[in-house]
Amino acid sequence: MAEVKIFSGTNSRYLASKVAYFYGKELGKVSIQKFADSEISVNYDESVRGCDVFLIQSTFPNADNLMELLLMIDAARRASAHYVVAVIPYYGYARQDRKDRPRVAVGAKLVANMLVAAGADRIMTMDLHAGQIQGFFDIPVDHLEGTSVFVPYLKTKNIDNLIFASPDVGGVSRVRKFAGYFDADIVICDKQRKKANEIAAMQLIGDVKDANVVLIDDMIDTGGTICKAAEIIMEKGAKSVRAVCTHAVLSHKAHENITNSVFEEVIVSDSIPLRQVNDKIKVISVAELFAKAIGRIRDNGSISTLFINYQHQITF
């Protein structure tokens, strides 16, 4: 069988090193340099000929990290790698997944096209903004679920009278899946936007009186939407409110918004590095989950065995 080699882009090395550790290998050596005008150059410092190459790179901030990943894929392909897997814990541009108004780009599809054109044989990612983005690819996509790490953590908290909440209508299916693991009810925050990251109005659908509420979302960017949802939930009589957001984008005044919010805690993964300490933010690593997934791919095993709903035979 082909040898497995794991490499990392510049800004995902913090996570890639942990993935490699759990897999039982050291990170491969790759040189990523920039010319004076910021043009990126990629060179592998060891042979990848005939190897199964896993390239770990989340695309944040999107432009440079995405370009790095594309060049890493191209370099591995030109160096005669046997199989190239792009491991993208956080898939940037996923919010641009449809043409929801005239004359806009569908960024998620464009990125998918570029990854395939660069030479990726397979994509591995986690908690896409919309699951149907998997259909943008004509190559296999392994879509891991954050529930695999978040649900066990929440169970250790032994929270009573638990209700799960979606910060918008689009996240209902994600919230329903979480609620199913706890046999809990769900509520929905119906929002109207003026523009990106700016809310015009929000109302709560459902009863949260005397409940401990957990808001579920795939990412937290500025934190404006989810912090506003938390305020409304507390105003409606909830005892406490937490949030589970897989990808901690945390741009602009996000940390300030979270610090001043009513949240008891905001639980995130390390798909994106936490660039500022915040007492309200709890980071749970997904490194072991990705290492296990790499092992399943290597051995032609089932990825679904890593999902909680598979392990417990829960149906929805």
Q: Which two tokens stand for residue 244?
A: 């589970």
218 labeled part of a ligand binding site: no
Q: How far is CA 45 from the centre of its chain?
A: 29
Q: Tell me: do 160 and 265 sit in the same domain.
A: yes
Q: What is the number of domains present in the chain?
A: 2
DSSP string, 73-87: HHHHHHTT-SEEEEE
Co-location of 211 and 155 in the same domain: yes
| pLDDT tens for each residue of the chain, 316 residues long | 899 999 999 999 999 999 999 999 999 999 999 999 999 999 999 999 999 999 999 998 778 999 999 999 999 999 999 999 999 999 999 999 999 889 999 999 999 999 999 999 999 999 999 989 999 999 999 999 999 999 999 999 999 999 999 988 888 999 999 999 999 999 999 866 556 555 557 889 999 999 999 999 999 999 988 999 999 999 999 999 999 999 999 998 999 999 999 999 999 999 999 989 999 999 999 999 999 999 999 999 999 889 876 444 433 2
Claim to verify: residue 163 and residue 100 sit in the same structural domain: no
Statement to judge: residues 295 and 216 lie in one domain: no
Query: Does residue 147 have a known ligand-binding role?
Result: no
Give a yes or no: residue 316 inside a domain.
Answer: no
For residue 222, what are the domain limits? 147-284
Q: Are residues 72 and 193 in the same domain?
A: no
Residues serving a catalytic function are 191
Sequence-distant (≥ 6) Cβ neighbours of residue 269 within 8 angstroms: 89, 126, 146, 149, 150, 246, 247, 248, 283, 284, 285, 286
Residue 272 lies in a domain: yes
Task: Tell me: do 12 and 132 sit in the same domain.
Answer: yes
Question: For the whole model, what pTM was predicted?
Answer: 0.92
Does the annotation place 221 within a ligand binding site? Answer: yes
The answer to whether the annotation marks 296 as part of a ligand binding site is no
Give domain status of residue 229, yes or no: yes
Q: Could you tell me if 20 and 130 lie in one domain?
A: yes
Nearest 10 degrees: Cα torsion 11, 15, 20, 23: -150
Residue 153: inside a domain:
yes
